Structure 1
Amino acid sequence: MKTLKFLTISAIASLTFISCGDDDDITGDDLRVNLYASSNTSGNITAYQIEDDGDVEVRTLLTIAASTDGEGLFVDSDEDEITQVSRSNKNINTYDELDGTDDGDALEIEAGGPTILGSPRDIAVNGNLYVVSDNMDVDGDDSTVDNRLWVFVRNDNTYTLRNVITTDFAVWGIEFVGGNLYAVVDKTNEVALFSDFENNFTTSGTALPSKRIAIEGIVRTHGLGQDGGTMILTDIGDAQSDSDGGFHFISDFQAKFSAVEDGGTLSVAGNQIRVAGSSTFLGNPVSVDFDSDSNTVYIAERANSGGRVLAFTNPIAGGNIAPNFNYLLDGASSVIFSQD
């Protein structure tokens, strides 16, 4: 397989298509996309590659046989590996030979975690530390809010559970920015920060985040993705609606987050750009990744038409903008863009 390249800013700006099939023609010069998605209705991983001749190659990569519900993804392009959270198997698995696996073939498993998770959603990785967010209720009491962060240490092909943190809020998306872990406070418009996560949150039990703030303009956030100092936060709005979603583009995120006092609100004016509306195809955008080099936002949209993988190359314009990449994927639950 050829080495995958990234879209340049000028090339990706010319990309506009909507497709449901494989190998569809697009316009643009020297285009190659390296994009992966999980699905709640399949344990498989879908790989999208846009070739420099304008064709879109879609590969379905099979995971271990018993996995029927895939969630969070992490890609290590240097090692040619992809790690997926399996909700059906209640564990995490790392697969090798990512670029060399053909459409319809099974990925080679490199490392597997213990089958101990409840309802895992996302994964964040910092070095050999693998953190999984889990939104299963801990104490079985619906009147209390308590979810988990499972912390694993990877050593070659082995995952060892280091500790389990019980949160006092519902979790979904998580993202490392340096050594700091940011977490979505599900069912709200808030984001929590766990400062110097590896060193400050080493024991099992209930732990409060270092800081927690609200994001003005968001109804219910789910996904978050950061690159080059810019954070993208998704808004699923009403979970029963397939058309009221959106995302917020926040440059210089860490500085803006730090400037808001604990419990405060980051205002929209002067701080954020919102993308939402009927042209976006956003209903329940549950996962997001961002590439600062091409200024492209990648979205896993769960509700609209049963699931879509979307890309927006002009998010700074804001408002009701159409995606440049729009591909149907049943049960789309997670998306990740990898730079070689």
Structure 2
Amino acid sequence: MKKNAIQLGLAITIGSFLMVSCDSDDDTVEMDQQDEQQVQLFASNNSNGNVTVYDMTSGEVSTLTTTSTAAEGIYYDDDTDEIIQASRSSNQLNAFADVSTFLVDATITASISSSADLESPRDIAVDDDYIVVADNADVDGNADTPDGRLFIYTRSNGEISLRNVVTTDFALWGIEIVGDDLYAVVDKTNELAVYTDFVATNTTTTAISASKRIAIEGIVRTHGLAYDNGTMILTDVGDAASDSDGAFHIISDFDSKFGAVANGETMVVANNQIRVAGASTFLGNPVAAEYDADSKMVFIAEAANGGGRVLAFSNANAGGDIAPSVNNSLASASSLYFYSSK
């Protein structure tokens, strides 16, 4: 999730960004240049592995061509001006330097790459100099015993090095670091797990169990998650074979609501969650999300509906069958990262 909060000026800028018609299949974003701050949405996909950059300040959309043919998991580090992306085609992490110099379409080459340790990367989360990758490959080869792996890398001295790997007792997809804790989607279920003090506690290659794991009422199958300033977004892909039954849930005051549910119990919908779903949403398989608390904007990477879309909802708190404010085509969209310089 983004490091910096959006100020009032961005709310005005996003107002222009949202004027793009929801039924347009154009992959450009039309908006007025009303603020000099950097506001960008980075997207990966599993169609060609390139990085799509939506610049909400200038209105430009850039495609950064990589050597990957499929990618899932993306992060922008403003301190180093680097994009970090997990490549599903080469099974490694790639870091691309000097991103801000690429103002238009360009071919980029990784300045740093990890060893090819991964098997099926799905999401990444960054905690200072640590990069955590969720991998959903079947570890023991037995489909009846769900498992996954969390690869923990260190980034230092111009290298990305694997520190250790932990095996989980459930299949993984989306992950999110909040403070020192790692939240993880329990794939193929409606559950959410947390590992407290994750990076500091889990320093060896071993098998671990979550500190806490709860069910989220109303969700069929969780996939993506995003957290900002006390609000958690969880996506629901429903039936993975359907491209029209997706949804996402908004859980405000998440920390206290999650804390109030006992391990193994269920967070009920009533008074706890807002659900967005229906034909008008264009949600089928929403595999990833981003959220900005100041503008209350929900961004979704939709993998299936229409072949793939990047959606934005400015009015998500209304819940129900609402149309997105922004609807841009992106084949097999897989992951997002939202960044604001202020």
Sort the TM-score into its range (normalised by shorter chain).
over 0.9
1:238 positional shift = 0.6
1:50 positional shift = 3.1
1:205 positional shift = 1.8
**Corresponding residue for residue 8 of structure 1:** 10
Select 1:62's aligned residue among 62, 65, 75.
Answer: 65
1:250-275 per-residue CA deviation (whole Å, 9 max, x = no partner) reads: 11111111111000111111111111
Work out the CA distance in 2 between the residues paired with 1:102 and 1:244.
37
Give percent identity, aligned residues only.
53
Relative to the length of structure 2, the TM-score reads: 0.92
SS at match of 1:139: coil
**Corresponding residue for residue 47 of structure 2:** 41
**Corresponding residue for residue 151 of structure 2:** 150
1:202-256 per-residue CA deviation (whole Å, 9 max, x = no partner) reads: 2212110101000111000000000111110000011011111110111111111
Work out the CA distance in 1 between the residues paired with 2:158 and 2:52.
23
**Corresponding residue for residue 25 of structure 2:** 20
5 Å-filtered alignment, 1:97-116, equals 97-116=98-117
**Corresponding residue for residue 338 of structure 1:** 339
Work out the CA distance in 1 between the residues paired with 2:337 and 2:122.
14
Distance 1:25 1:194, change over 3 A: closer
Work out the CA distance in 2 between the residues paired with 1:256 and 1:35.
29
SS at match of 1:144: coil
1:30 positional shift = 4.8
1:33 positional shift = 4.2
Work out the CA distance in 2 between the residues paired with 1:61 and 1:28.
22
SS at match of 2:249: strand
1:26 positional shift = 4.8
**Corresponding residue for residue 286 of structure 1:** 287
Farther-moved stretch of structure 1 (323-332 vs 198-207): 198-207
1:315 positional shift = 1.4
- State the AA in 2 paired with 1:12: I
Work out the CA distance in 2 between the residues paired with 1:104 and 1:282.
28
User: 1:97·1:108 contact (CA, 8 Å) conserved in 2?
Assistant: no
- State the AA in 1 paired with 2:41: L
- State the AA in 1 paired with 2:62: R
Which has the higher relative contact order, 1 or 2, with Cα contacts under 8 A spaced 6 or more apart?
Answer: 2
SS at match of 1:8: helix
User: 2:71·2:89 contact (CA, 8 Å) conserved in 1?
Assistant: yes
Gaps of 5+ in 1: none
**Corresponding residue for residue 325 of structure 2:** 324
The root-mean-square deviation of aligned C-alpha atoms, in Å, is 1.9
**Corresponding residue for residue 79 of structure 1:** 80
Work out the CA distance in 2 between the residues paired with 1:269 and 1:23.
38
Work out the CA distance in 2 between the residues paired with 1:219 and 1:134.
21
- State the AA in 1 paired with 2:213: R
Distance 1:11 1:321, change over 3 A: farther
Work out the CA distance in 1 between the residues paired with 2:266 and 2:319.
21
User: 1:39·1:70 contact (CA, 8 Å) conserved in 2?
Assistant: yes
Work out the CA distance in 1 between the residues paired with 2:30 and 2:84.
30
Work out the CA distance in 2 between the residues paired with 1:280 and 1:232.
16
1:162 positional shift = 1.2
Gaps of 5+ in 2: 1-5
Work out the CA distance in 1 between the residues paired with 2:30 and 2:117.
44
5 Å-filtered alignment, 1:267-286, equals 267-286=268-287
**Corresponding residue for residue 3 of structure 2:** none
1:147 positional shift = 1.0
Relative to the length of structure 1, the TM-score reads: 0.92
